[in-house]
A and B are shown apart, each in its own frame.
Chain A
Amino acid sequence: MELNINGQRYTIADEPARPLLYVLRDELGLTGTKFGCGAGICGACTVHVNGKATRSCQTMVTTLADAQITTIEGLANGEQLHPVQQAFLELQVPQCGWCMSGQMMTAAALLAANPNPTYEEMIAAMRYNYCRCGTYARIGRAIMRAAELMKGQKV
């Protein structure tokens, strides 16, 4: 079957049925999407499927034949970082960085759907992504900052 990932088409084996995460990381070498729990709890494996934040460890590739998949490797527009990436860099959010792809993909999906989130809406979207290094305070600030950056870029 074929998958559309970051605007490119990839041909993968139909069988066996397996979660997208393993195809991305172990078959296609797109290791920016991380394994954390394999149970859809921690959020480290979050990607976009048709623009929606999706746990790739819980999503079988067989369901993705016609889907547009975006991973962290496809979040930036070439050299131009996505506003969420810009803000995470500006506020020096990551520590170990392992959860960060999932954090940024979740945040980018939130801002695409709701460019002006309240702080409470931001928390509601981000509360299912673990960060063991405890960067939560900066994550929150960076997402609000990214929303500002996006406004600026539209003008």
Chain B
Amino acid sequence: MKKDTRPQRWRMSRRGFLIGLGVVGGGLALGAVFGLPAARLMLADMFGDVIEIPSTMPREPDLWFTIRPDGHVLMTMPKVEMGQGVHTALAQIAAEELGVAWEQMQVVQSSSRGPIADGAGTSASYSVISLFPVLREAAATLREMIRAAGAEQLGIPLAQARVERGVVIDAERPERRITFGELVAQERDWQPPSEAVPLTPPERWQMIGQPLPRLDLPAKIRGSAVYGYDVRVDGMLYGAVARPPRLGAKLRRAAPGTARNRPGVVEVVIRDGFAGVVAESRLTAYAALNDLELDWELPPPFDLQDIEQRLVAQAGSGTVIQRQGDAPAMLRGGQVIEAAYRTPLAAHANLEPQAALVDVQPDRVRAWVSTQSPVQVARTLAQVLGRKPETVEVTPTYLGGGFGRKVTTTVATEAALLSAAVGRPVHVGWTRTEEFRYGYLRPPTYAAFRAALDSSGQIIALEQRHVSGNVLFDLFPAPLRWLFGSDFGGWRGARLVYAIPNLLVTAQTVELPLPTGPWRGLGLLANVFAVESFIDELATAAGIDPLDFRLRHLPENELGQRFRTALETVATMSGWREAPPPGRARGIACSIDAGTIAAHVAEVGLVDNRPRVYRVWAAVDPGVAINPDGLAAQTEGGIMMGLSAALLERITISDGRIEAGNFDRYPLLTIADAPEVFVQILRSGDQPFGGGEPPMGPIAAAVANALAALTGERRREWPLV
């Protein structure tokens, strides 16, 4: 802080434990003591209800903040801004404890090499949850240091100095004051506080909970924000990479053919399993791909049926992820209600396709990438190029949508291989066809339910057998896959919150012949669709109003109370107890994810025999919303994306190839089909939970339940047409 320079090294270092090591070590120990199935259930409990995420991020304020003599606070952001508003939310948390005005806050993105580079990446709605305590402590520490310096400068006891909007003020003579900027401009031996710093109590929060304007929007409004597809540097070239004619095909042999004769082509790059072109323009690079001579080794073809056939629940082969009492015994004989639900393969359809600019030089590698995982990308590039990790720097750009598709970013590797061959910066930006066909998809799911009701209509037993393709397993080492047994990304949202005396949920992960991975919310949207549709079917069987049925089954604890409040709020907002307009019906559903509860009511009708969603009401309880307008925006957007997925989207495969090559074969929801959305943000505490994914959880189920109420026919498969 000495005039933009770092103070002396901090003595204090309070690092949390590494979650990866903690889980593996702890999990193995549990397994040894309790046996594998029990250990897996304990892990499922840990990961199913996870709301406190230990962060390994440092709390030394100089790593996060630079105060400038003009009073601006420059905050370095370890998380990536992909539209979820995370830069604004994190800056609000910091500004609260720093005691500065909102106008003083400026942010800059950390690269993979920065002191707060974040190996966890930006995903799973964990950014705010995990960084909330870290940022509060770091910012409060800095504020206390400045307050002490200000008191000294003003010649007053520390207790007499207060901080307000970036100024240290003499509480007894408020005209005596000195700004943060003036203080950092002085030569001073900055000392970290010797005691734990006080945090601003929630009742005095002025920034947290305010709908402050997003910091990234002015640039986005003017078209000046730089995304991965937009990065331009002097001397750069454009690259394109040959793609296989069928999923899983391997490049056996490749030759440049006539590519080098094409004007504008700079280099043809062929190495094991890879063929690409570098050219003066993107269009030339892509055109030259047709000039290459390529010999592909084709795997056997497969189609959609081959994939869907693998999604069957095999008795006894799932991992137990939730258990109460003895559901199988209770479901032997008697009246059992059964239903099964399916969701299809789906695309992320982020509107900015994969994009990276990489500059491979003899002594260093620099990359600008549209990625959720810059540290991981840097590691991969170092490996692929055979470089020392400290010579590789990856800077994430703004992302034109992430939705899980930019957790793994192979486009950076492609640009790196091409750049290494020509010694100049190379940009690779995928076409829409590449984006549809050569990345990874949301896996299909299958969930089969059985349940029994008692004479009063309470659920006495419920069993769910859940099946999904990989979501996170491809990112995990084999021992971790073995330990978990099933992919917790696949079953995210499949555990039930309701108090059911005999409950069994098993999850099975099946290998598919094509890559699948994380999609916004992981399994959340698909699994809440299945669970909350089945709960609705049980309510119908019991002859009880779907809202009342849910309320009756909530647990008698704090979590149950939060659900009750959310459900009752959304019921009031939507006029649940009153009849819907003629020709329309309403459906209700709720979910919890990353600690945040969402309850939705959807009002639907049929137009030309197709579902039309007119209005959606959402009550969302994130503990406390850092920025309620930001959370409302995430709720509105999540609802639209969820509707698009449930009503319209399905990837089909024929002859080992994804059929959709553009939006003509994979249309998205448009403004013409967008419902009105009404959002209410609730507060249940002082700890913020997840915001980017959880609010979308119930939407598909709410619509399916409304359609069942409207037509008397239950739709158990997407698209819900």
Q: Interface on A for B, CB 8 Å cutoff? A: 16, 18, 22, 25-27, 29, 31-39, 41-42, 44, 71-73, 75-76, 81, 85, 88-89, 92, 94-101, 104, 123, 126-140
Which residues of chain B in 224-243 are interfacial with respect to chain A, using CB atoms and an 8 Å cutoff?
Answer: 224-227, 229-230, 232, 238
- Closest-by-CB residue of A relative to B230 is A31
Binary contact track B194-235/A, C-beta < 8 Å → 1, others 0: 000000000000000000011011101111111101101000
Q: List 10 A-B contacts (CB under 8 A).
A: A16-B283, A32-B224, A35-B353, A98-B227, A100-B220, A123-B672, A129-B670, A131-B640, A133-B83, A133-B637
**Interface stretch among B22-30, B64-72, B393-401?**
B393-401
- Give the residue among B83, B282, B402, B675 with the most A Cβ atoms within 10 A: B83
Q: Are B674 and A137 in contact (CB under 8 A)?
A: yes
Q: Are B400 and A32 in contact (CB under 8 A)?
A: no
Q: Interface on B for A, CB 8 Å cutoff? A: 82-85, 213-214, 216-218, 220-227, 229-230, 232, 238, 281-283, 349-353, 398-403, 429, 431-432, 629, 633-634, 636-641, 644, 662-664, 668-672, 674-677
Q: Are B220 and A94 in contact (CB under 8 A)?
A: yes
In Å, the complex CA distance between A85 and B669 comes to 24
Min CB distance B496 to A, Å, is: 27
Given A22-B283, A134-B638: A96 in contact with B352 (beta carbons within 8 A): yes
Q: Are A137 and B636 in contact (CB under 8 A)?
A: yes
* B residues near A75, Cβ cutoff 8 Å: 223
Q: Are A136 and B225 in contact (CB under 8 A)?
A: no
Q: Are A98 and B223 in contact (CB under 8 A)?
A: no
Q: Are B637 and A135 in contact (CB under 8 A)?
A: yes
Q: Are B671 and A129 in contact (CB under 8 A)?
A: yes
Min CB distance A135 to B, Å, is: 6
Min CB distance B672 to A, Å, is: 4
Q: Are B432 and A37 in contact (CB under 8 A)?
A: yes
In Å, the complex CA distance between A118 and B218 comes to 28
Q: Which of B213, B218, B223, B639 contacts A134 (CB 8 A)?
A: B639
- Closest-by-CB residue of B relative to A15 is B263
Q: Are A39 and B403 in contact (CB under 8 A)?
A: no
Q: Are A134 and B230 in contact (CB under 8 A)?
A: no
Given A134-B637, A138-B636: A99 in contact with B222 (beta carbons within 8 A): no
- Closest-by-CB residue of A relative to B287 is A16
Q: Are B223 and A99 in contact (CB under 8 A)?
A: no
Min CB distance A32 to B, Å, is: 2
Q: A38-B432, A96-B351, A130-B663 are in contact. List 15 more A-B contacts (CB 8 A).
A: A22-B282, A31-B230, A34-B351, A37-B432, A38-B662, A72-B222, A76-B222, A95-B637, A96-B350, A96-B399, A96-B402, A100-B221, A129-B671, A133-B640, A134-B637
Q: Are B400 and A96 in contact (CB under 8 A)?
A: yes
- Give the residue among A38, A39, A123, A137 with the most B Cβ atoms within 10 A: A137
* A residues near B229, Cβ cutoff 8 Å: 31, 34-35
Q: Are B670 and A127 in contact (CB under 8 A)?
A: yes
- Closest-by-CB residue of A relative to B232 is A29
Q: Are A127 and B671 in contact (CB under 8 A)?
A: yes
Q: Are B83 and A95 in contact (CB under 8 A)?
A: yes
Given A22-B282, A73-B222, A98-B352: A132 in contact with B668 (beta carbons within 8 A): yes
In Å, the complex CA distance between A128 and B85 comes to 26
Given A85-B221, A98-B401, A127-B670: A92 in contact with B629 (beta carbons within 8 A): yes
In Å, the complex CA distance between A40 and B220 comes to 22
Q: Which of B223, B351, B636, B662 contacts A72 (CB 8 A)?
A: B223
In Å, the complex CA distance between A36 and B227 comes to 13
* A residues near B432, Cβ cutoff 8 Å: 36-39
Min CB distance B544 to A, Å, is: 33
- Closest-by-CB residue of A relative to B639 is A134
Min CB distance B658 to A, Å, is: 15
Q: Are B350 and A132 in contact (CB under 8 A)?
A: yes
Q: Are A126 and B671 in contact (CB under 8 A)?
A: yes
Given A22-B283, A92-B629: A31 in contact with B636 (beta carbons within 8 A): no
Q: Are A137 and B677 in contact (CB under 8 A)?
A: yes
Given A31-B226, A72-B223, A96-B83: A134 in contact with B640 (beta carbons within 8 A): yes
In Å, the complex CA distance between A29 and B234 comes to 11
User: Which 6 pairs between the two chains have the least Cβ-Cβ distance?
Assistant: A32-B223, A134-B640, A98-B400, A96-B83, A95-B83, A72-B223
- Closest-by-CB residue of B relative to A31 is B230
In Å, the complex CA distance between A35 and B229 comes to 8
Q: Which of B83, B226, B429, B639 contacts A94 (CB 8 A)?
A: B83
- Give the residue among B221, B400, B429 with the most A Cβ atoms within 10 A: B221
* A residues near B664, Cβ cutoff 8 Å: 39, 41
Given A35-B229, A92-B213: A134 in contact with B641 (beta carbons within 8 A): yes
Given A127-B670, A134-B669: A42 in contact with B225 (beta carbons within 8 A): no
- Give the residue among A44, A73, A96 with the most B Cβ atoms within 10 A: A96
* B residues near A92, Cβ cutoff 8 Å: 213-214, 217, 629, 633
- Closest-by-CB residue of B relative to A90 is B213
In Å, the complex CA distance between A128 and B674 comes to 13
- Closest-by-CB residue of A relative to B219 is A97
- Give the residue among A44, A76, A97 with the most B Cβ atoms within 10 A: A97
- Closest-by-CB residue of A relative to B227 is A98
Q: Are B431 and A95 in contact (CB under 8 A)?
A: no
Q: Are B352 and A31 in contact (CB under 8 A)?
A: no
Q: Are B670 and A128 in contact (CB under 8 A)?
A: yes
Min CB distance B402 to A, Å, is: 8
